[in-house]
Chains A and B, each alone.
Chain A
């Protein structure tokens, strides 16, 4: 009966202890609970759609051109040597490579196709080598690599855990299979020095491989998988091992071997003296030596530039197509006759 009270309670106001009033269950109004927040309701108008496609095209085509130009600027020499470096009279390549008494030195000649400015990066490339195999990737023990006191931690390192009852440092298949071909270079009969420092990531050297951890009991078994390590050098300075232990993502990969800080001119001859030690013959792997320059985008890969150009071109085409369709549009937006269920039921 109290109209004042009724008005007060129906507005959902805060409670007041005073006169008895009808308890209101109406929730407090707020824009959030009533879903009336200020909002924009984007809709795919022709203006928006065509301008979005044009914008994407306009951004992507120049990036594609720049990427393609960068990739074309890279000069790369790739030389596959695992087939050529085995003498022609050898039939059983596996036995040849596993025989440690035969000298595996091999000479290769490379020709520089275009001027290469320093720094020139030397990589070794492996094909058909699955460093991303699950069991392989897990076959390491990070604690052992980092901490000298944890030298006996060899969990997950099967089958390279212990030898003659003593733990192997570094344990695991990744370390066991470290690449062990070596290369020396000569440039037009002058010796070319390779800088093999700083080829690994700094975070690996500082945090993942201990400076007081030394190799122990390593490659002492009947099957030698790769490189033998100098037991007086700590792991944080064994950069070839560190580089190798950063497992590659794809079955064809390169790893940094060193850097050359000399400019190479077109038609120069580089003579490579290499030791063909690493066994890729039992699984049809390939080994190659790569010399490459780099740009802001990295090495030579035309795909990025081409993909950008393709997507940009596709967007231009779609913008053009939608413009045409909008101009010749066959029906007004909002015509009800084209509702799907109305088309079927004709009479009503």
Chain B
């Protein structure tokens, strides 16, 4: 099952990393304040990373316990069969594949054909894998032999549980994403709203003025900051030498 990390979740993640654009190139040039998300360390803060890790753990907990509680010791098919280790495992695995791919679909900001292909084919490939791997002789596939074609495919409980668990695992993230972009938007979220609004009207004029003013305020890092600080120090020395007897208080710059 190490195939999981390689195949079923890597493709959408790579596609997202390479092709995702949160703000289009045109708007990026227009609002240089976006650059501040880097020096301000807004995107790779520890709190954000830990938040994502916590989300992963939380989703895993939801998937695990919901799957187990739904498929307990009772029969899961009309013919009275009960679950075993491979059936429970395959069901949980299916829920994880759905949850991860749908998570990608929610997170991605820029949906091209490639994202669509990666996400939907990720899910489709999982079912294909189940069928093909299950068709290989049991000396190789052992407990997964025909687990989908015989046991799971025709069991309505399997599909019902998959739908429940995948959606339940995504609701927390979706809700948080909505709250974040509505009430605590990052700068690039605001630009996204602008992009969206720009399709209907052209309100960027007034906002553009305001944003440009922010763009020229003094920064705290980088070459321009060092240059500004040096200027301030030089100016203070000049004033000091010039009028040492006069207002000492005004010299207290910095």
Whether A and B are associated in the same complex: the answer reads yes
In the complex, the answer to whether A340 meets B184 with C-beta atoms within 8 Å is yes
B30 to chain A, nearest CB (A): 14
A301 within 8 A of B: yes
Please pick, from B74, B168, B184, B194, the residue contacting A298 in the complex, using a CB distance under 8 A. Answer: B74
CB-based contact B109/A37 at 8 Å: no
On whether the beta carbons of B164 and A249 are closer than 8 Å, the reply is no
Which A residues are in CB contact (< 8 Å) with B75?
Answer: 121, 254, 292, 294, 298-299
**Within 8 Å of chain B (Cβ to Cβ): is A96?**
no
Does A256 lie within 8 Å of B111, measured CB to CB?
no
Residues of A within 8 A of B137 (CB): 207
- Report the Cα distance A238→B183, complex, angstroms: 65
Which of chain A's residues 330-344 have a Cβ closer than 8 Å to chain B? 330-331, 333-334, 336, 338-342
Per-residue interface assignment for chain B, residues 200 to 241, with 1 indicating a CB less than 8 Å from any chain A CB and 0 otherwise: 000100010011001001100000000000000000000000
- Stretch of B51-59, B64-72, B243-251 at the chain-chain interface: B64-72
Whether A296 contacts B182 in the complex (CB less than 8 A), given A248-B84, A249-B88, comes out as no
Q: Is A24 an interface residue (CB 8 A)?
A: no
Complex contact B21–A35 (CB within 8 A): yes
Q: How far is the CB of B254 from chain A (nearest CB, A)?
A: 16
The reply on B145 being an interface residue by CB < 8 A is yes
User: A203–B80 contact, CB under 8 A?
Assistant: no
Answer yes or no: A44 CB below 8 A from chain B CBs. yes
- Is A142 interfacial (CB 8 A cutoff)? yes
Residues of A contacting B151 in the complex (Cβ-Cβ under 8 angstroms): 201
Tell me the residues in window 24-71 of chain B with beta carbons closer than 8 Å to chain A beta carbons. Answer: 24-25, 36, 40, 42, 66, 68-71
Q: A37-B112, A208-B145, A247-B85 are in contact. Are A294 and B80 (CB under 8 A)?
A: yes
CA distance in complex: A272, B83 (Å): 26
A250 to B76, CA, bound (A): 14
Cross-chain contact A121 with B80 (CB below 8 angstroms): yes
Contact of B112 among A38, A49, A203, A315 (CB under 8 A): A38
* A119-B109 Cα distance, complex, nearest whole Å: 53
A residues 316-348 in Cβ contact with B at 8 Å: 318, 322, 325, 329-331, 333-334, 336, 338-342, 348
CB of A125 within 8 A of chain B?
Answer: yes
A132 within 8 A of B: yes
Q: Provide the bound-state CA to CA distance between A298 and B78, in Å.
A: 5
**CB-defined contacts of B42 to chain A, threshold 8 Å:** 340
Return the contact of A334 from the options B78, B85, B145, B207 (Cβ within 8 A): B207
Pair B40/A341 contact, Cβ less than 8 Å:
yes
How far apart are the CA atoms of A338 and B137 in the complex, in Å? 62
Verify if B82 is at the interface (C-beta below 8 Å from A): yes
Interface check B5, CB cutoff 8 A: no
Q: B139 to A336, Cβ gap below 8 A?
A: no
Question: What CA separation (Å) do A272 and B143 show in the bound complex?
Answer: 34
Does A252 lie within 8 Å of B73, measured CB to CB? yes
Q: Collect the chain B residues with CB atoms within 8 Å of residue A135's CB.
A: none
Closest to A207 in B: B138
Contact in complex: A298, B193 (CB < 8 Å): no
CB–CB A252/B72 < 8 A: yes
Given the complex, which residues of A lie within 8 Å of B242, measured CB to CB?
A: none
- Whether the pair A249, B167 counts as a contact (CB closer than 8 A) is no
Interface string of A29-41 (1 = CB under 8 A from B): 0000001111111
Interface residue? A253 (CB, 8 A)? yes
B interface residue numbers (CB < 8 A to A):
19, 21, 24-25, 36, 40, 42, 66, 68-85, 87-89, 108-114, 137-139, 142, 145-146, 150-151, 155-157, 160-161, 163-164, 167-168, 171, 174-175, 177-178, 181-187, 190, 192-197, 203, 207, 210-211, 214, 217-218
Given contacts A142-B142, A304-B161, A336-B211, 5 further A-B contacts (CB under 8 A): A43-B195, A203-B145, A249-B83, A299-B74, A334-B197
Which 4 A/B pairs are nearest by Cβ-Cβ distance?
A299-B74, A121-B80, A299-B75, A249-B88
